[in-house]
């Protein structure tokens, strides 16, 4: 079964990492620049709307993956 993309708002992004406030009200989601799916410079801005899937890091903790910027 394919996972449905989640939606949220960037609350912080600096350098290579940040956090997304999830629309579902659950705990803020960590995001790493390598999981941002855009052409060109991979960065997010505060208050930007995004869609993402939920994956796990190498320690089994949740993180945002396949992050795209919503228009």
Residue 71: what pLDDT?
78
Domains (range + CATH), the chain? 6-69 (2.40.50.140)
Q: What is the pLDDT of residues 3-57, one digit of tens each?
A: 899 999 999 999 999 999 999 999 999 999 999 999 888 999 999 999 999 999 9
- Please give the Cα distance from 27 to 40 (Å, whole number): 29
């Amino acid at each position: 079964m394919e996972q449905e993309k989640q939606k949220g708002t960037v609350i912080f992004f600096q350098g290579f990492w940040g956090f997304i406030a999830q629309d579902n009200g659950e705990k803020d989601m960590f995001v790493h620049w390598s999981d941002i799916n855009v052409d060109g410079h991979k960065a997010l801005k505060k208050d930007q709307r995004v869609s993402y899937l939920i994956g796990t890091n190498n320690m089994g903790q949740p993180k945002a993956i396949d992050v795209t910027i919503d228009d």
